[in-house]
Each structure stands twice: as C-alpha cells, then as structure tokens.
Amino acid sequence: MAMASRVFLLLFIMFSFYTELSFSLYEDQVGLMDWHQQYIGKVKQAVFHTQKAGRKRVVVSTEENVVASLDLRRGEIFWRHVLGSNDAVDGIDIALGKYAITLSSEGSIIRAWNLPDGQMVWESFLQGSNPSKSLLSVPTNVKVDRDNLILVFSRGSLHAISGVDGEVVWKKDFAAESDVIYAIGSVGSSQFDAYELNARNGELLKKHGAVFPGGFSGEMLLVSGDLVVALDANKSSLVTINFQDGIKFQQTDLSNIVGDSSGTAKLLPLKLQEIFAVEINEFVVLIRVTGEGKLELVDKLNNAAVISDPLLLSEGQHAVALVHHGDGKIHLTVKLVNDWSNDLLKESIVLDHQRGFVHRIFMNNYIRTDRSHGFRALVVLEDHSLLLFQQGAIVWSREDSLASIINVATSELPVEKEGVSVAKVEENLFEWLKGHLLKLKGTLMLASPDDVAAIQGMRLKSSEKSKMTRDHNGFRKLLIVLTRAGKLFALHTGDGRVVWSLLLPSLRNSACAHPTGLSIYQWQVPHHHALDENPSVLIVGRCGQSSDAPGVLSFVDTYTGKEIDSLSLAHSVLQVIPLPFTDSTEQRLHLLIDADQHAYLYPRTPEAIGIFQREFSNIYWYSVDADSGTIKGHALKRNCAQEILDEYCFDSRDVWSIVFPSRTEKIIAAVTRKSNEVVHTQAKVIADQDVMYKYISKNLLFVATIAPKASGEIGSATPEESWLVVYLIDTITGRILYRMTHHGSQGPVHAVFSENWVVYHYFNLRAHRFEMSVIEIYDQSRAAANKDLWKLILGKHNLTSPISSYSRTEVVIKSQSYLFTHSVKAISVTSTAKGITSKQLLIGTIGDQVLALDKRFLDPRRTVNPTQAEREEGIIPLTDALPIVPQSYVTHSQRVEGLRGIVTVPAKLESTALVFAYGVDLFYTRIAPSRTYDSLTEDFSYALLLITIVVLVAAIFATWILSEKKDLRDKWR
C-alpha cells in the first residue's frame, strides 16, 4: 500500500508540474468567481428620446462625468462614456433626432454621440477668452439646408454649430430672419445693461443701460422673453426688470407676497414661462409675473419639493411635475403652467425610506391609447439612485450611489447554523454524475454550445457562492462600502448583490450643515469571545467641508444593516488611528486626533481606558502636512487641560519633525504599511544557503517629494528642473533610514508598502516613460548576530526578542528601477491569510484595467545573468521593462471605468486573495498569486477521477480473474 501511495504522490507531482505558472482564465470561466457592475453616478441632466418607435431611451449626464444612454423600459445602459476627470458635462441635448450632444469643460468642448451605439460623431473645440456660464440649446426651428444648428453660449461668446459635422458655422451670432438675441447683464452691482444683437451677423442693434438705486444681490432670472427678476441688495424685495423698450424697474417687497420674509431669500432657476421660484424660510414659493411686472403668489411648497423643467404638451401648453414628500410617500403632481389649480396627474408612490428626499426630477410624456397624456418621471434621489415612475409605480431603479465609493471595509457572514443540511444541493447521484459528465465533455472540448451554456448555468447554480453564511474557504464575505451620498451598502462577494443598504441617519442630521462621510473602520470583529455579538463597523464623518468641522461617528451592525449608535462629536476628526487593542467584547480601541492635536479615545468605557493606560507610553503617531511640507511625530502627554475633565481626551506632544525645504521639495505621496498585514517569516533564504533578514517594522513611512516647479502636468517642466526624492522614515524616532533622488523625474507618484519593500510608480522625463522602482530593506545587524552559532544554541538569537525603534538597527537597502508602459491610477498588493503565498502587485492602469504583476519582477536582486543558484531560487533575469502579459489582467476583458481604488482582502484559504476594484464600475474577483496549491481548481474533473478509479478497479479484478484462470490451467497442465 505504501508503494501505491508513493505512485499517487508521483502522479500528483507530475500533475502540479503540468500546470503553468501565471494568472489566467479560460473564456468560459468568466463570471464564475468574478462580477462586474456598471454604474453612471448621480444624474445631473436627462433628455428623453421617445418620439420614434423602437428603442425608447433617455440620455443622461452625471456628476461622475458620465454620458450614458439608458433603456427607458428597464434602466439598462445602452452605451456609456466616462469623460476625463476635469471634463465636467455642462449640458446635454438631442439634435437631429439621432445625435446626443454634450457640452463639457466649461463650455469649451462640444461632442456629438450617435444615439444607437454611442460612437462619437464629431467633436468641436470652442474658443473664447472669458470663462463664464455655458448654455446649450438645440432649437428645432433654426434650419439651414436641412442642417440643424446648435447654439452654444460659452466663454463669453455665442457659437452656432452645425449638427451634422460639428463645424462652427458662425461665432457670436445667428438665427432666422426676425430673430434677435438679447444679451443682458449687470455691471458692478447696480448698473443694468441690455444689448440687442442681430442674430445673423452679430451686429449690435441696441444698447440700453440703467442704474437701479438699491443695487442687486447678483442673482437674476429670466422669466419671460423680456422680463428679468432680480433680488435687491439686501435680499428683501424682488425687482422685475423689463428691457424690451428701454429699461423699467419695478420693486415689490417680498413680505407682501409671501407674508413674512424674515429668512434670506434665494432665487431658484426654473424654466417656466412667467413663473419663478423663491426659496425662503424652508419654503419654496412659486410666483407668477403677470402683465406690467405684477407679481402674484401661485403656490407655496415645503422645502423638499422639487420641480421639473416644463414639458411642451401641445401648442402653448406646458406641464410641470412637482414632487414632494409626506408621510413616507412621494407625491407626484403634474400641473399645467398656465392653469395651476388643476392637476393633470396626482400620484403617490411608497418608496423605500433608505432613499431619502428627491433631488431632481425630469419629466416626459407619452400619448396613451385613448389619446390622453400619460407622464413618466425620472427621479434622482438623495442617495443618488435613479428611478422611473410611471402610472403610480416604480418601473425600474438604479443604485447609482455605488459609482462614488469613498471607502471599503469587509465583514464576515454569520456562521452556518446547525440543522441546515448540504444534501439538498446534491439532489441525486444520477444528476450529479450527469453534471460531471457534461463538465468532462467541456474540458475535452467535445461540448456543443448548448452544453456549454448548461455547464455555465450549472456552475453558477451549484457553486453556493451567494449563500448568506460563512464558508469554509472564506470566499463569502460582505463588502461594506461607503459612498459619497452618505449611504452604506453591503455587497455580497459571491454575486455582488446589495444585501442591505443604509442612508446613514447621523450624516443627514439637520444639525450637520454639509455632512460628508470620510471612512469606515472595523469596530467590532467578534471571533474568540463575544461570538454571539454581531460584527460592526465605525463610520467617521464630518459636518462640512473644512477639516476643522466637528465630526460624526456612526456604528452600524453589519449583519442587519441597522445603525446601533451614533455620536455627534464636539471636536473635529483629522486622523483616526485604530489601535492594536480590543476590549472584552472585541471592540477595537480607536484614537481620534482633532485639528488642535488632541487625542480622543473611543469607545468611551472605563475598560477601554484601562487597556489604554497600560500602553500609554507606547502610542505614537505621525502627521503629514503637505502644504507646509512637514512631517511630525506625536506621542501622548497627559489628560486634556480643559475646564471639564474629560478622561478620554489627551494632549499630545511633538516628538520629532522633518521640514522639507519648500523651495526645492513638495510632498506628493506618503504611504505606510497596512496595519493588518501578516508577514509569515522574517527570514529569506537566498541562493547560497545564506539568510537575509527582512527589516519588518510597522512604523516605516515612505515619502515622495518633487520639485515644486514640476508639480504640474507632464508637459509643464523640463527634465533639468524636476526631480523626485524618496525617503524612508521611521515614524517613532523620525530617523531617515534612506533617501534617494531620481533626477529628471516627476509625479504623480503611486506607491505601495508591504513587508519590507516599497514599490512606486513615477514619470521619468528624460526617457519620457513611466518607471517603477522597488526598495527593499534588510536588517543587517540581525544577520550578523545570527551567524554566531553559540548564541543560536543557547537560544539567544534575537528573532523572538522585541524590536525597538530606538535601537539603531543597521539596515541594508537595495533598490532597482524598471520601465513600465502605462500610466497608473491605483496600485495595491495582494494580502493572504498567513502571508506565505508570494505577492502580486495589482496595478490599475490608465485603461481602467487591473494588472497582476508578480513581485518577483520587482526584485532588486535581479541581474542580467543570474547564476545557476539564483535561477533555482527563482530570480528572473533582469530586463529593462516590466512585462505586461495580457492573460494576467485580473479584469480580463472588462474595464473598471473611472478606476479609483483596489482593495485586497485575504480569504481563509492561504493561496487566495479577494480583490475588489472600484470606480464608476465595480469589479470583484479572487486571485491566487501562486496558483491554488491548497485546493482543487474549479474545473477539476471529478468524473474523470471517478472513471479512472472504476477502470483501475475493473482492471484489477480482470487481471486477478485472468491470473486465477492461468493458475488453474497451469495446474491442469
């Protein structure tokens, strides 16, 4: 039997050699362990395209600079384009019935996209000197030789652009015969000017100017063709200005219309004829302008109301939609502009209260079979989701908040309860065998397309990957993501579905002016004690944009998705430091640093303070101030000296500081190790049976500075005036372990720090190519000490002794640079449960793909001709460029549009890491940097194994019978 097992072992070794070493995927494996979700972001503008029969669509532009065409029936994306990060869309429209027109970059770029497939048809660049508000309009009545003209006002001039090819037909003017363009504006604060221009040639027809004695507050609204409404300087009265023939002012006190005018008024732009809105005292007041500048109150709505743009129903009839909230429902009302008392439509829709208030509404109508008007409304909600209402129901909804993820954390799923049997999955043996036979056919390339589809379906169904319980390999987890809308989502790693979502109540508090979510931290991860507790996360937010605004804390249960507790802080939150201590309920201790460098301890329990006091002198942190170019180290001093004694508040003292000369160096990147990273071994055995000791310290900081002159874009500096300096700094003592200058290089720098190495990416201006460098740090003193055999025998080797940053360890630093083809958007490194598996760098390239690159390619010990021993160790011969193998893109043939970050989480299985890349799109997969050496691959054919065993057993019996027979024959002979 020992022999047989040896044979099996041999075969398995052969088997493992048979598979080659690289991350790769077969095309039919797509979707087995990865998922990809496409989003667009919060919709800014929407234009419906429903006139023609066939596909009804809506073209939208979003705050993530996305232009997309959505299916109006199901909400799916027909096509989508993510524009550059500083190419914000100002206006969209549809021209000629076949092109979607976008105006972007403050009105300087106008593009036309083909509606069916999203192909860009033309692009025009509009020149002008003065940045100003830009407007886009596609009039239907302006036609020249069957060519629609698009009118664009941008950068201080008016352009007419041909809808067919994007040529600028004229600049500054145009229109049909009788048309006159008015340019109006205010000079200073009280002078009002109106210009009449001939639209055809830009000739100035008339100019009026008048001075309003009270002065304007700056806001103006065009209410009708010849009437402008403005607020006077102290915002207490409305001024209507008629500029048709000469300029006539008429002033009306706000209190006369509204009743009281104690609050500050604000004009809201509405595109209604003769009606405008004023926001005052939490109310929106709709005011109609009647003849001769008389104002009358139309409607008074509470603040959460949103009004759509008017919609032309028939000649002279415009409809608007109003949406407001009340008792957990949304009330949608459609009214005629000139007949306000009648409602064309009144609907109430019950909405998930996790979506918040309505922010925007876009309306569209259709003709019902009975020739009456039907309405559909596209609604953008507070949580950035997009909904389509029709006939009192939600037709579809999109969770577009997920396009703006700020931070990601993970959470385990609940443990599987007793009594749930696994037998249900494997229905019966026949089915099971049939499935495996199909799979076998697939691997042998004998399967027909139908079979392939069946295999895919079966794999997805049987893989149990979307179950809501913890699995053995640790593949099933919850991804907790915080989005810019202040909404928290839990995504299942199995299929990417939203398990729960929560619009954080503490971030919507009215006490908080402009609440913004900042980051998520693991608050409570129960595993040893307190197993009956649910895990929870801490969400840190801030009231307002400035860094000294007071903070908000929120604690959310990750199983139920309910907020357990929330705290409105009196102090600001500049830094959050998760400490490596937990209390008896496994709540992690967190130290929050405010703008005045006070440290606050959370949770605020006596137990926490007890743990904290024990480690009081061992707590250090650092702060990086890029503006002043300083890095400071801090430590705790004593309790805060305030009037009210707060035993959870501590003063800090500066331990050290490094000031970079502001004329020559500017900090652009500071990266440290992930605090939860696991390192398997400190020793690294090198070729000649020698050992190198990695210098592993959690307190190392990588800092990159560049010349201030070269801090701009790539074309802005010459190689002579740009340099990149990298530092390795110990954050306890402030000691600079290493400093290196790359002459002629500039940012942006993307860096990742893991174990004892840093990899960073920058631009080399001399070669005009991107480069990646690696720095590895080795502990020399340790290596020398461990050479002493006696110390080893007597157990005095210092592998287990504690390390102090104050003991000046001698370090050896090795470094090497390589060329890398692409620009990089994000860089990250795989992390596994025990840190045994070799590492891969995950590089988010400019093409929004994620490339997995073995760390072995970034090894400073690479040489052009490695010795035999080094080759055996796995050192790759040095090449000047890093290889880009298409099969090692973890995103394979998909793009994570607008890629911003890559997060890796270890699975329980040592060989595997989970990868989540986010941007406008989300992508999740799991990768095994050294192949799945501890489990069978997904496409392992159990059927083939079974058949082999059966054949072997049959053969044994056959030979046994044969030999018996032979024996018998021999005996008879």
Q: How far apart are CA 109 and CA 88, in angstroms?
A: 10
**CB-neighbour burial class of residue 916 (10 A; exposed 0-12, middle 13-18, buried 19+):** buried
**Window of 326-334, 439-447, 536-544, 652-660 that interacts with another protein by CB under 8 A:** 439-447
Residue 893 touching another protein (CB under 8 A): yes
**Residues between 116 and 135 that touch another protein (CB under 8 A):** 117-123, 125, 127-133, 135
> Does the protein bind another protein through residue 211 (CB under 8 A)?
no
Residues 270 and 284: beta-carbon distance below 8 Å: no
At residue 712, the 3 state secondary structure works out as coil
Q: Does 188 bind another protein (CB under 8 A)?
A: yes
Site track for another protein across 900-939, x = CB under 8 A: ----------------------------------------
Q: Which listed residue (9, 31, 76, 189) binds another protein by CB under 8 A?
A: 189
- For the beta carbon of residue 840, count every other beta carbon within 10 angstroms: 26
**Omega before residue 748 within 30° of 0, cis:** yes
| Binders of another protein in range 770-799 (CB under 8 A) | 770
Find the binder of another protein among 9, 453, 468, 767 (CB under 8 A): 767
Q: Where in 223-242 is the site for another protein (CB under 8 A)? A: 225
Does residue 175 touch another protein according to CB under 8 A?
yes
**Of the candidates 508, 557, 510, the residue with the CA atom closest to the CA atom of residue 532:** 557
> Which letter does DSSP use for residue 122 in this model?
E
Give me the least distance between CB of 762 and another protein, in Å please. 11
Q: Does position 31 bind another protein by CB under 8 A?
A: no
Q: How far is the CB of 127 from another protein (least distance, A)?
A: 8
Sheet-wide strand order for 515-524: 515-524, 536-543, 550-557, 563-572
Q: Give, as one character, the DSSP assignment of residue 880.
A: S
- Binding residues for another protein restricted to 295-314, rule: CB under 8 A: 309-312
Sole binder of another protein in the list 31, 218, 328, 457 (CB under 8 A): 218
Site for another protein in 37-56 (CB under 8 A): 47
- 959 is an interface residue for another protein by CB under 8 A: yes
Based on the shown chain and the rule CB under 8 A, indicate whether residue 366 belongs to the binding site for another protein: no
Q: Which of 21, 54, 141, 527 binds another protein (CB under 8 A)?
A: 141
Residues 496-555 that bind another protein (CB under 8 A): none
Residue 355 beta carbon to another protein: minimum distance, rounded to whole angstroms: 28
To another protein, the closest distance from the beta carbon of 635 in angstroms equals: 39
One-letter amino acid for residue 677 of the chain: E
Given a contact cutoff of 8 angstroms between Cβ atoms, the answer to whether 782 and 800 are in contact is: no
Among 103, 151, 344, 875, binds another protein (CB under 8 A): 151
Report cis status (omega within 30 of 0) of the bond before 603.
yes
Least distance to another protein from the beta carbon of 264, Å?
20
Q: Are 251 and 268 in contact (CB under 8 A)?
A: no
Nearer to another protein, 269 or 414 (CB): 269
Kindly state whether residue 87 participates in binding another protein, applying the rule CB under 8 A.
yes
Enumerate residues 842-861 that contact another protein by CB under 8 A. Answer: 845-849
Q: Quick one: tokens of 29?
A: 């494996």
Nearer to another protein, 318 or 855 (CB): 318
User: Nearest approach, Cβ of 444 to another protein (angstroms)?
Assistant: 5
Per the listing, tokens 């169904």 go with: 461
Token pair of 753, please?
């720090």
3-state SS assignment for residue 433: helix
763 binds another protein (CB under 8 A): yes
Count of residues in contact with another protein, rule CB under 8 A: 123
Determine the angle formed by the axes of helices 942-972 and 429-443, rounding to 10 degrees. Answer: 100
* E-strand stretches of 901-973: 901-906, 913-918, 922-927
**What residues form DSSP beta bridges with 290?**
294
Among positions 9, 12, 338, 505, the unique one binding another protein when judged by CB under 8 A:
12
Least separation in angstroms between CB 396 and another protein = 23
At closest approach, how far in Å is the CB of 3 from another protein?
6
The stretch among 579-587, 676-684, 887-895, 927-935 that binds another protein (CB under 8 A) is 887-895
> In the window 691-730, what residues touch another protein (CB under 8 A)?
713-716
Backbone angles phi, psi at 571, to 5 degrees: -105, 170
Stretch of residues binding another protein (CB under 8 A), selected from 9-17, 233-241, 299-307, 671-679? 9-17
- Residue 813 tokens read as 């630093």
Interacting residue with another protein among 35, 39, 99, 153 (CB under 8 A): 153
Residue number with CB closer to another protein (785 or 947): 947
Q: Which amino acid is at 5?
A: S
Using the rule CB under 8 A, is 462 a contact of another protein? no
898 within 8 A of 881, measured Cβ to Cβ: no
**Which of residues 71, 164, 186, 460 is near another protein by CB under 8 A?**
186
Q: Applying CB under 8 A, which part among 22-30, 471-479, 521-529, 591-599 lies near another protein?
A: 22-30
State the angle between helix axes of 449-462 and 429-443 in degrees (0 to 180), rounded to the nearest 10.
130
Neighbours of 531 (CB within 10 A): 9
Residue from 365, 361, 398 nearest 380 by CA: 361
Cβ neighbours of residue 755 closer than 8 Å, sequence gap 6 or more: 673, 677, 679, 694, 696, 835, 839
> Does the protein bind another protein through residue 950 (CB under 8 A)?
no
Looking at residues 190 to 209 of the shown chain, list those that interact with another protein (rule: CB under 8 A).
Answer: 199
Cβ burial of 497 (10 Å; 0-12, 13-18, 19+) is: exposed
Residues 312-341, interacting with another protein (CB under 8 A): 312, 318
Stretch that binds another protein, among 517-525, 535-543, 637-645, 839-847 (CB under 8 A): 839-847
Burial class (CB in 10 A: 0-12, 13-18, 19+), 624: middle
Task: List residues bridging with 753 in a β-sheet.
Answer: 758
Task: Give 97-100's long-range contacts (Cβ < 8 A, gap of 24+).
Answer: 97/49, 97/51, 97/52, 99/163, 100/47, 100/59, 100/67, 100/69
Decide whether 136 or 658 has the Cβ nearer to another protein. Answer: 136
Q: Which region, judged by CB under 8 A, interacts with another protein, from 109-117, 400-408, 492-500, 731-739? A: 109-117
> Closer CB to another protein, residue 85 or residue 804?
85
Q: Is 270 or 811 the residue whose CB approaches another protein more closely?
A: 270
Question: In 413-470, where do the E strands start and end?
Answer: none
Rule CB under 8 A: say whether 367 interacts with another protein.
no
Q: What is the DSSP secondary-structure string of 502-553?
A: EE-GGGS-TTSSSEEEEEEEEEE--SSS-TTSPPEEEEEEEESSSTTSEEEE
Rounded to 5°, the CA angle 137-143-145 comes to 140
Our finding on whether 972 is near another protein (CB under 8 A) is: no
Q: Evaluate whether 549 touches 517 at the Cβ level (below 8 Å).
A: no
Q: Give the footprint of another protein on residues 271-290 (CB under 8 A).
A: 271
433 versus 958: smaller Cβ distance to another protein: 958
Contact 711, 668 (CB under 8 A): yes
CB of 892 to another protein, least distance (A): 4
**Binds another protein (CB under 8 A): choice among 32, 100, 158, 351:** 158
Q: Is residue 951 close enough to count as binding another protein by CB under 8 A?
A: yes
**Between 61 and 385, whose beta carbon lies closer to another protein?**
61
Regarding beta strands 358-367 and 227-232, do their DSSP bridges make them parallel or antiparallel, or are they unpaired?
A: unpaired
Distance in Å, CB of 948 to another protein, minimum: 4
Q: Is 821 in the site for another protein (CB under 8 A)?
A: yes
Q: Which CB, 441 or 598, lies closer to another protein?
A: 441
> Helix (H, G, I), strand (E, B), or coil: what is residue 790?
helix
**Which residues, listed in sequence order, are joined to residue 154 by a DSSP beta bridge?**
157
Least separation in angstroms between residue 927's CB and another protein is 14
